[in-house]
Chains A and B, each alone.
Chain A
Amino acid sequence: MKYLDAIRRAGRNLRQAKIRTLLTSLAIGVGSFTITLSLAAGSGGRTFVEDLVSANTNPNAVYVQPRQESMQQSGGVQEYSDTPSISYGGGFQLTLLKGSDINSISKMDGVEQVDPVYNLNAKYITVKGQKKYQAGLSTYDDSVTLKYAAGQGRDLANNAIIINEDYVKPLGFKRSADALGKTIQVAVANPLGVERLFEFKVAAVSEKSDLAVGGTSDLVINNAASKTVYEYSEQGTPLEKAYMGATVIAKNKESAADLKDTLSDKGYDAQTAEDLMSTIFTFVNVLQGILLGFGALAILTSVFGIINTQYISVLERTSQIGLMKALGMRNRDIGRLFRYEAAWIGFLGGAIGAGLAVLLGSLANPYITELLDLGETKLLEFHVWQAASVIIGLMIVAVLAGIFPSRKASKLDPIEALRTE
């Protein structure tokens, strides 16, 4: 018997027991549905993380911190050392990056730029004659994509500032465009509590972004301005001329990876944007794995459904099998016929489940996005190859489940089978 004939005959046999075929397939469909959805959620999750990380980080950047050797140290009296550090109670110390560290890093191969991390703290911001407001302050970062409601934030001058559109109305401007060129006062206190007003001119008004984590609702000033503000606010503390960390911008992605290794060898903790991403990926993957596990469980259950259905089908069609054998059909072909039937069931169940998952998932996507406030991202991301491999995989599982009944069929004695009436 030819393959195509066997496949067609298997399909016709199933059509004669429509309800039974459908019910058996639905059991697999549940597994197929769960697996398709979890694959889609995994893809969507990874895309979301990727977007999130790339919107907030530069692929060429390496984030450097001094290695915290004494973090784990238990109490006891520690000898004083000259390295800049912040001491906490109980013997914990946070080692900081010194200016000399910054210098030596910037001389390394492949380094284009080293930006120390400035922890900026504004006491309040205001416009003359208006109320004072709390606000975050951060340093302009090329890699953070900002959308502007007015003005342009690139190549920020030393006395320029980007404000978020949230601040436009409170600071007394009618529209975003009205704020451009106006002077904003930023009050910063030094460790002794002495307040100083820094004045900046609004260069741009940024829009809210759903993807960007930091830097958007903050007010943004350039590197040099950040340094001035930082040095004023930290004068006399261990953090003066020392930093929690630094962002090293490499010439390209490859040298970023090399730099990471070199920095680690020199005793720093270094992470690339990719490392950050993979940390979050692990989290997404674990969640996806749990969902996949449920799907696998559903499929395991449906395997017994297939075995049961096909076994009963063999018993019911004993005389048909006998006839086929009498007409010269080989045992191998009879077994194959039943395995193809199982494959059809697997295909049907896989297609129903995957189809429903795609349909319902696509319908639910806008609601999920709105509910979780994901912006442009879709949580469920369907790929044709994923759905196809789910279906093919289930066909294979179904064929494996069909092995036992199909062996039963191929081993039937034709004489016995023909006697059944």
Chain B
Amino acid sequence: MVGITRLGVYFPRRRLDRGLLARAWGSRPVPGSRTVAAVDQDALTMAVDATLACVGEADPAGFDGLYFASTSAPYLEKQVASIVATAVDLRRTAAVADLGGSTRAGLAALRAAGDAVRAASLAHALVVAADVRLAEPGSELEVQLGDGAACVAVGSRDVVAELVSAASVSEEFTYLWRTDAQRYVQVADARFGNQYGVARDLPEAVTAALRKAELPPGRVARLCLAAPDARAAADAARRIGCDPTTQLLPSLQGETGLLGTPDALVQLVRALETAEPGDFLVVAAYGEGADALVLRATDALPGRRPTPLASRLADGIALPSYERWLRARDVLPADVGGEAVPTYIEWKELKQDIRLYGSRCEACGLVQYPQARVCLGCQARDRMVDAKLAKTGTVFTFTIDNLAPVAEHPMPMVVADLDGGGRIYLQGTDCAEGEIAVGARVQLTFRRLHEAAGNRNYFWKVMPV
């Protein structure tokens, strides 16, 4: 049986109250808030955090593939999947690829991973989708979007949701786009796009997938439709033959905003929070056509349910102003300067800096970071073995710095003792006042540390658990 074995969702901790958008532009207030990436986050960093959430306590060496899907990858040339695979400590032999171009790339990646596992080309593959999509300031789309990431593992053992069937539709269609020269997502006529794009392509793909599974629409326990418009999704559900009020999973737009490539995967996580073994789930995503998958919850699901979205969304930090978000997205740039990381230093220290390994002294057992030849504790020479550091720990001491040249103040600097050994010193991020204190529990998160010489430098930071 081939299907989904693990799931992880990541939302940035920052929230932008939609009222701040209405106040900024004098537009009609829309209730609720949307998730927004912090200044040190992008699709790459959130993909790492979502993948870490998905892998959990499993051995990363057990995954032999990773697909990264995004329409907002921070690199147009330079692979993101390989950075994600390195940061989560996959083997160098893992097959990795970036997918993009359309918000349905997340689900397309899942379909491809399922096919690869079914063909025994891959044994256990990770599919991660992340987006930080930027809309024109003041546009309606700006209110509707949200930032987030999701990761699912596809394999043939410990499957919680079996991949039953898949179908796709593809056709040139202009609804949402962004050229290589544009920063903001563009929207054509929404009424036309919803009626002749979303409400036509989604039903066609879903109906084909249901037919392959020999499943009548009435048997679908949960219909998850990733679409750029909630009403269009309801229209599509009706055309499929499903009841939008009982079978269609409500859009995430109100809670997080529309997430782009991770939207379908996040909806799948929500559906699996409550699905019963044997339930059929349909997940479909729109984008110049559509992809649709039929899944069936297995008996293993109740013991291995994903962490609920509600807990992933708890403890958000509301941004004090719209301008703070524009700064975070570099619409209002902050020039903090900095020097490039020489590519050879990055290469030499990949294991230490990105895979995050310290050294353990075989003579005295002390775990130390960064890696060293002579032991800090007993001065034993060349008795070190690699020691992978944990990504959780306790604050030994800290400061809240207002002086450092960073884009956002106050910035915590934290000395933390990691669980299982090793002391590390990192910038703090996404902290509410008072959360960083001596003895506080923290976790590591992958972030964009700084930008220099036209390149981006990524590293770990700490945030409250």
B and A form one assembly:
no
